[in-house]
């Protein structure tokens, strides 16, 4: 088993396009060349066709390498905004992160999102400016961008030797030595030769080193006192102080690299080992027992085993591989662990180290390690596996707030196969949710964004040979009435032998929104026997399932049964049920029926400079702005708008704000649809049903 002090669990985070996967592959090429892509591509980790098609990571890839005798568990996370919940799950199981910033494009919105997620988890970070070998690259501009956008203090640990095509190494500001990267004589990728600093860069290097030493000294009273007395700390003192500063998030150390040619990669691996904390920094873990009481457990190997599943990969042939972090205790092949969610035990038939889509079996693992467990019976992302006699449930992974949904259209002959495939897809990606809308009778796939849904559907086709089609979901329209009305429903049928007779008189009145359907028994004198009154109510509720305008559910009204008659022989429950239904339908002609639509409550966060455009867009969607308030990320807009106008809002907001805006949405209430909009809805409804002209929607106050 590994010594926890010789482990670094690191999430590599950045916006898509910053080169996370290329850097992870470069670290493998340097420290584990036998397992890395041979051509310098990202094919070893970005093996999914959906990633190759889009050229960005859509789910965390786990791999490992060894540098300076230390095991590096590297989590190459997704950067695109639709997949950030997957990234956040990865942040829950590491002790440190590497924030990557492109030297060309600088800090983007997704970079800010990653920074905020790390901040919420108090995750120690170091940063690296990548792509310094590209045209228009600038290390100093990237530093300035980090400081202004992330509102943090970036401290350079290195200075690039050249930029663009001339970038060939780095200056180590701690040792004041130049590391000139080139293929060493042994041919190892990412090697360098140590040299003196070029004379023309010595002045800039000393200035940056002074800033570094001052930042380090400010984190330690003893060092600060010595520094003010003219005693500059030594190299080892600086490195030790840097590690403490990273652990306390006092400032953000920044390195320099170009992943594909391997320039700076060896120095970056050494920085991960030296400055990011090992698993022993996590002294304890907190969770809940079976009764909801808090449980605190030391994060050591001599404690009860406690594992958290943070990633599932489902293969049609191999089965499910669950990536788990061992937070405490030890596990070995054949051991049984308890899952508090299912109240069942799981057998650890095989334990693996994960290397992208590949695995290497190991006999055991201990606190601090990240492992893979194959073919567990029922383990979801977020599940805790622990000892049955020491149950504990970790709550490190939150529930995603899904912002978009699409209706799935599945061929009838594939329905059963699709159901199984969708279940497996949800096991792999808990950011998805599958629901059935009882009003529109649609199967809805909910997710974090349009690209997220599209990728999921592509996986269904590739992995399970299930072809489904996406359509915008129908809003769950309702109908109601605006006026009081009276009507009779009389059902009389005679066809030889015993007949059918039911007769009822009702009074219909509108109710406030959200009241549903109410029924009142106002019968006196026994004009309708008591046993038939529930049948009248059933008939009314039957008729309310399809309103007169478009066949949408009829809601928010009250029916009072006031009179009627019966036949001693021919009356029956069925007859009065039909009579009740007829009475409601007859009353609706004079009750001014109208169409209702679901209104959604929105919270939209946008940069201040884009506030006007977003407000105008919400207004154009028949929305109302309810209020605004400043936040650290811009302005928070409180608004409401019809669901019909928001079905494509996620990609459109992203386009409008260049990927910097985001929102949450939830149902608020039902409102009357404006007359001109109601006509459009009803025309579409009639077209779908193959019927003729719709019944017009009556505006308020008019028949």
Q: Which stretch of DSSP H or E encloses residue 452? A: helix 450-464
d(CA 316, CA 459): 11
Section 421-443 average pLDDT: 88
Average pLDDT of 686-694?
67
Q: What is the CATH T-level fold of the domain 596-688, as seen in this structure?
A: Alpha-Beta Plaits (3.30.70)
Closest CA to 660 of 603, 607, 602: 607
Q: What is the 3-state secondary structure (H, E, C) of 59-112?
A: CCEEEEEEECCEEEEEEECCCCHHHHHHHHHHHCCCCEEEEEEECCCECCHHHH
Sign of the alpha-carbon torsion through 228, 234, 237, 242: positive
Q: Is the pLDDT of residue 384 over 90?
A: yes
Which of the two residues, 405 and 431, has the higher pLDDT score? 431
Residue 361 parent element (H or E): strand 358-362
Q: Given this model, what pLDDT does residue 233 score?
A: 87
Contact indicator for 163, 258 with CB cutoff of 8 Å: no
Please give the share of the chain, as a percent, with pLDDT higher than 90.
68
Task: Return the closest-CA partner of residue 369 out of 68, 607, 77, 95.
Answer: 95
Task: List, for residues 34-53, the tens digit of each pLDDT value.
Answer: 888 877 677 778 777 787 77
Give yes or no on whether 404-471 and 596-688 have one common fold.
yes
pLDDT at 224 over 50: yes
CA gyration radius, the chain: 33
Position 184 confidence tier, pLDDT thresholds 50, 70, 90 = low
Distance of CA 585 to the CA centre of its chain: 46
> Do residues 398 and 430 lie in contact, with contact meaning Cβ atoms separated by under 8 Å?
no
Q: CA quadruple 684, 686, 687, 693: dihedral positive or negative?
A: negative
Assign domain 4-281 to its CATH superfamily: P-loop containing nucleotide triphosphate hydrolases (3.40.50.300)
Whether the predicted pLDDT of 380 surpasses 50: yes
d(CA 574, CA 576): 6
Whether domain 404-471 has CATH 3.30.70.870: yes
Are residues 97 and 10 in contact, defined by beta-carbon separation less than 8 angstroms? yes
Q: Are strands 517-521 and 557-565 parallel, antiparallel or unpaired?
A: parallel
Q: Under a CB-based contact definition with an 8 Å cutoff, are residues 111 and 84 in contact? A: no
Go through 26-35 and write b for each residue having 16 or more CB atoms within 10 A of its CB, e for each that does not: bbbbbbbeeb
Q: Is 469 in contact with 486 (CB distance < 8 Å)? A: no
Q: pLDDT tier at 183 (50, 70, 90 boundaries)?
A: low
Query: What average pLDDT score do residues 315-322 get?
Result: 77
Tokens at 195, concatenated: 């040299």
How many CB atoms within 10 Å of residue 511?
15
Q: Are strands 306-315 and 384-386 parallel, antiparallel or unpaired?
A: antiparallel
576-626: pLDDT as tens digits: 999 999 999 999 999 999 999 999 999 898 888 899 999 999 999 999 999
Q: Which two tokens stand for residue 376?
A: 């567990």
Instruction: Give residue 695's pLDDT.
Output: 44
Cβ atoms of 495 and 519 within 8 Å: the answer is no
Report whether 467 contacts 418 (CB < 8 A): no
Question: Reading across the β-sheet that carries 485-493, which strands appear in turn?
Answer: 485-493, 500-510, 557-565, 517-521
Looking at residue 73, its pLDDT comes to 98
pLDDT of 196 reads 94
- CA 407 – CA 398 distance, rounded (Å): 26
Q: Say which residue, 115 or 687, is predicted with more confidence.
A: 115
Q: Is the pLDDT of residue 146 over 70?
A: yes
More confident residue, 382 or 55: 382
pLDDT digits (tens, 9 = 90+) for 82-96: 888 999 999 999 999
Q: What is the DSSP letter of 690?
A: T
pTM of the model: 0.79
Cβ atoms of 8 and 73 closer than 8 Å: yes
Structure tokens at 578: 């039909």
User: CA 596 to CA 479: how far, in whole Å?
Assistant: 5
Report the interhelical angle of 415-428 vs 450-464 (nearest 10°): 120
Among 659, 514, 492, 646, residue whose Cα is nearest residue 579: 492
**What pLDDT is stored for residue 667 in this prediction?**
85
Q: Which of 155-164, 294-303, 543-552, 679-688 has the lowest mean pLDDT?
A: 679-688
Q: Looking at per-residue confidence, does 423 or 43 come out higher?
A: 423
Sign of dihedral through CA atoms 135, 136, 137, 138? positive
Instruction: State yes or no: pLDDT of 696 exceeds 60.
Output: no
Least confident of 425-429, 681-685, 694-698: 694-698
Tokens representing 529 are: 């026997």
Residue 101 and residue 125: Cα distance in Å, rounded?
13
pLDDT for the residue 573: 95
Distance CA 187, CA 155 (A): 33
The reported pLDDT for the residue numbered 82 is 83
Q: How confident is the model at residue 350 (pLDDT cuts 50, 70, 90)?
A: very high
The C-alpha atoms of residue 314 and residue 319 are separated, in whole angstroms, by 6
CA angle, 320 then 354 then 401, to 5°: 60
Please check the confidence at residue 700 and state whether its pLDDT lies above 60: no
Burial (0-12, 13-18, 19+ Cβ within 10 Å), 82: buried
DSSP element (H, E) containing 253: strand 252-256
Q: Write down the domain spans for the chain.
A: 4-281, 284-394, 404-471, 479-591, 596-688
Residue 515 has pLDDT above 50, yes or no: yes
Helix (H) or strand (E) holding 256: strand 252-256
Q: For 519-532, what is each residue's pLDDT tens digit?
A: 999 998 899 999 99
8 A C-beta contact, residue 643 and residue 598: yes
Q: Is the pLDDT of residue 506 over 70?
A: yes
How is residue 197 annotated by DSSP? Answer: P
The count of C-alpha atoms lying within 13 angstroms of the C-alpha of 585, restricted to the half-sphere facing its C-beta, is 15
Could you tell me which CATH class the domain 284-394 is placed in? Answer: mainly beta
Confidence of residue 697 (pLDDT cuts 50, 70, 90): very low
Mean per-residue pLDDT over the chain, rounded? 90
**Is the Cβ–Cβ distance between 632 and 657 less than 8 Å?**
no
**pLDDT tens for residues 102-114?**
999 999 878 988 9
Asked whether the predicted pLDDT for residue 155 surpasses 80, the reply is yes
Give 303-347 as a DSSP string.
Answer: S--EEEEEEEEEETTTEEEEEEEEEESEEETT-EEEETTTTEEEE
In terms of DSSP bridges, do strands 70-76 and 7-13 run parallel, antiparallel, or are they unpaired? parallel
Question: If phi over 0 gives left and psi between -120 and 50 gives alpha, with beta otherwise, what is residue 382?
Answer: left
Q: Which fold has domain 479-591?
A: Ribosomal Protein S5; domain 2 (3.30.230)
**Other C-beta atoms lying within 10 Å of the C-beta of residue 254:** 20
Over residues 640-684, the pLDDT tens digits come to 999 999 988 888 888 888 777 878 788 889 999 999 999 999 998
Q: What integer pLDDT is reported at residue 169 of this predicted model?
A: 94
For residue 296, the surrounding DSSP H or E stretch is: strand 294-298
């Amino acid at each position: 088993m590994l010594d926890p002090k010789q482990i670094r669990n690191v999430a590599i985070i950045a916006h898509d396009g910053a080169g996370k996967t290329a850097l992870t592959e470069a670290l493998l090429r340097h420290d584990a060349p036998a397992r890395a892509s041979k051509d310098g591509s990202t094919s070893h980790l970005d093996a999914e066709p959906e990633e190759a098609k889009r050229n960005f990571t859509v789910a965390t890839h786990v791999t490992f390498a060894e540098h300076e005798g230390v095991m590096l568990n590297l989590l190459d996370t997704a950067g695109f905004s639709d997949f950030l919940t997957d990234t956040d799950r990865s942040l829950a199981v590491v002790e440190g992160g590497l924030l990557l910033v492109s030297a060309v494009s600088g800090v983007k919105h997704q970079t800010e999102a990653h920074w905020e997620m790390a901040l919420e988890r108090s995750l120690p970070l170091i940063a690296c400016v990548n792509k310094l070998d590209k045209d228009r690259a600038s290390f100093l501009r990237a530093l300035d961008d980090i400081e202004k956008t992330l509102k943090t203090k970036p401290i350079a640990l290195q200075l690039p030797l050249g930029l663009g095509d001339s970038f060939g190494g780095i200056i180590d500001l701690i040792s004041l030595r130049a590391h000139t990267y080139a293929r060493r004589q042994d041919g190892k990728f990412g090697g360098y030769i140590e040299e003196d600093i070029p004379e023309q860069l010595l002045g800039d290097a000393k200035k940056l080193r002074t800033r570094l030493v001052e930042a380090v000294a400010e984190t330690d009273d003893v060092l600060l006192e010595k520094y003010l007395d003219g005693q500059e700390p030594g190299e080892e003192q600086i490195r030790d102080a840097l590690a403490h500063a990273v652990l306390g998030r006092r400032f953000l150390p920044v390195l320099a690299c170009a992943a594909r040619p391997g320039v700076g990669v060896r120095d970056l691996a050494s920085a991960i080992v030296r400055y990011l904390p090992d698993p022993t920094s996590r002294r304890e873990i907190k969770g809940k027992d079976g009764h909801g009481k808090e449980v605190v457990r030391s994060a050591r190997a001599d404690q009860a085993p406690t594992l958290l599943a943070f990633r599932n990969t489902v293969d049609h042939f191999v089965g499910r591989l669950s990536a788990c972090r061992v937070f405490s205790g030890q596990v070995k092949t054949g051991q049984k662990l308890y899952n508090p969610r299912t109240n069942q035990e799981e057998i650890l038939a095989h334990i693996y180290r994960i290397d992208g889509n590949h695995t290497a079996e190991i006999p055991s693992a201990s606190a601090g390690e990240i492992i893979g467990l194959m073919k567990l019976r029922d383990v979801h992302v977020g599940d805790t596996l622990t000892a049955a006699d020491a149950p504990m449930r970790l709550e490190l992974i939150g529930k995603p707030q899904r912002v978009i949904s699409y209706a799935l259209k599945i061929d009838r002959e594939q329905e059963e196969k699709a159901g199984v495939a969708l279940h497996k897809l949800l096991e792999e990606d808990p950011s998805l949710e599958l629901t059935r809308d009882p009003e529109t009778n649609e199967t809805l796939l909910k997710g974090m964004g349009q690209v997220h849904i599209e990728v999921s559907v592509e996986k269904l086709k590739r992995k399970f040979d299930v072809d489904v089609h996406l359509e915008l979901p129908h809003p769950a329209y309702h109908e109601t009435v605006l006026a009081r009305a009276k009507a009779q429903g009389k059902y009389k049928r005679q066809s030889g032998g015993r007949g059918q007779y039911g007769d009822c008189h009702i009074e219909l009145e509108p109710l406030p929104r959200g009241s549903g359907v109410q029924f009142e028994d106002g019968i006196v004198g026994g004009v309708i026997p008591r046993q038939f009154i529930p049948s009248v109510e059933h008939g009314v509720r039957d008729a309310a399932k399809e309103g007169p305008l478009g066949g949408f559910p009829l809601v928010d009204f009250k029916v009072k049964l006031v009179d009627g008659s019966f036949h001693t022989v021919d009356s029956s429950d069925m007859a009065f049920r039909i009579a009740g239904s007829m009475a409601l339908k007859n009353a609706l002609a004079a009750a001014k029926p109208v169409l209702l639509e679901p209104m959604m409550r929105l919270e939209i966060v946008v940069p201040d400079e884009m506030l006007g455009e977003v407000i105008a867009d919400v207004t154009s969607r028949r929305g109302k702005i309810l209020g605004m308030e400043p936040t650290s990320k811009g302005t928070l807009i409180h608004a409401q708008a019809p669901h019909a106008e928001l079905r494509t809002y996620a990609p459109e907001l992203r386009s409008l704000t260049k990927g910097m805006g985001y929102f949450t949405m939830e149902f608020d209430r039902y409102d009357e649809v404006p007359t001109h909009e109601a006509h459009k809805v009803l025309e579409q409804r009639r077209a779908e049903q193959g019927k003729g002209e719709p019944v017009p929607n009556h505006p308020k106050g008019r028949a």
